[in-house]
């Protein structure tokens, strides 16, 4: 039996205002955006995709309730590129790179609705298990 060809995972992020979310992902984080209308947009950067969908507070995953973890080859480099823009937001919207006890160096960003994106890179013994060149 032929195996399905897994391509990627693209989580849905519930948003309250599509134009505000699109502007954040495009203008601050550098994602390319495709939006066919109907309260939906697809945001993609390299091999990472997010689906943005306008939802109300009664939805199964209302705006602000989603979290995605993105593995990055150079967390400090990515953060350095975004830091000037992130500093224009309140401190509760982002956090600088920090080494974690579980072998990851991470920083995080919240979109305008509060959805959380964590960007991480393996460090120490944990770094050896990841091949970021693929």
pLDDT reported for residue 130:
57
Residue with the bigger pLDDT between 25 and 127: it is 25
pLDDT greater than 70 at residue 128: no
pLDDT tens-digit readout, 59-101: 888 899 999 999 999 999 999 999 999 999 999 999 999 999 9
Contact 54, 44 (CB under 8 A): no
- Which residues, listed in sequence order, are joined to residue 15 by a DSSP beta bridge? 54
**How much is the pTM?**
0.88
Instruction: Report how far residue 45's alpha carbon sits from residue 50's, in angstroms, rounded to the nearest whole number.
Output: 9
Contact 94, 107 (CB under 8 A): yes
Name the fold adopted by 12-55+65-129: 2,3-Dihydroxybiphenyl 1,2-Dioxygenase; domain 1 (3.10.180)
Which residue is listed with tokens 């992020």? 13
pLDDT greater than 90 at residue 53: yes
The domain limits of the chain are 12-55+65-129
pLDDT reported for residue 61:
84
Instruction: Report how far residue 51's alpha carbon sits from residue 121's, in angstroms, rounded to the nearest whole number.
Output: 23
Q: Look at 56-60, 93-97, 107-111, 129-133 and tell me which has the smallest mean pLDDT.
A: 129-133
Going by pLDDT thresholds of 50, 70 and 90, the confidence category of residue 56 is confident
pLDDT greater than 90 at residue 57: no
Three-state secondary structure along the chain?
A: CCCCCCCCCCCEEEECCHHHHHHHHHHHCCCEEEEEECCEEEEEECCEEEEEEECCCCCCCCCCCCEEEEECCCHHHHHHHHHHHHCCCCHHHEEEEEECCCCEEEEEEECCCCCEEEEEEECHHHHHHCCCCC
pLDDT tens-digit readout, 1-33: 667 777 788 999 999 999 999 999 999 999 999
């Amino acid at each position: 039996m032929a195996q399905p060809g897994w391509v990627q995972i693209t989580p849905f992020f519930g948003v309250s205002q599509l134009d505000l979310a699109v502007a954040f992902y495009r203008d601050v984080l550098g994602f390319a955006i495709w939006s066919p209308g109907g309260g939906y947009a697809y945001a993609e950067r390299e091999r990472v995709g997010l689906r943005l969908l306008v939802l109300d507070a009664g939805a199964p995953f209302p705006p602000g309730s989603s979290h995605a973890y993105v593995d990055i080859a150079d967390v400090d480099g990515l953060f350095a590129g975004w830091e000037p823009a992130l500093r224009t937001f309140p401190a509760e919207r982002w956090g600088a790179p920090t080494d974690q006890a579980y072998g990851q160096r991470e920083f995080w960003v919240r979109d305008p609705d509060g959805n959380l994106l964590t960007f991480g890179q393996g460090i120490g013994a944990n770094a050896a298990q990841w091949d970021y060149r693929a």
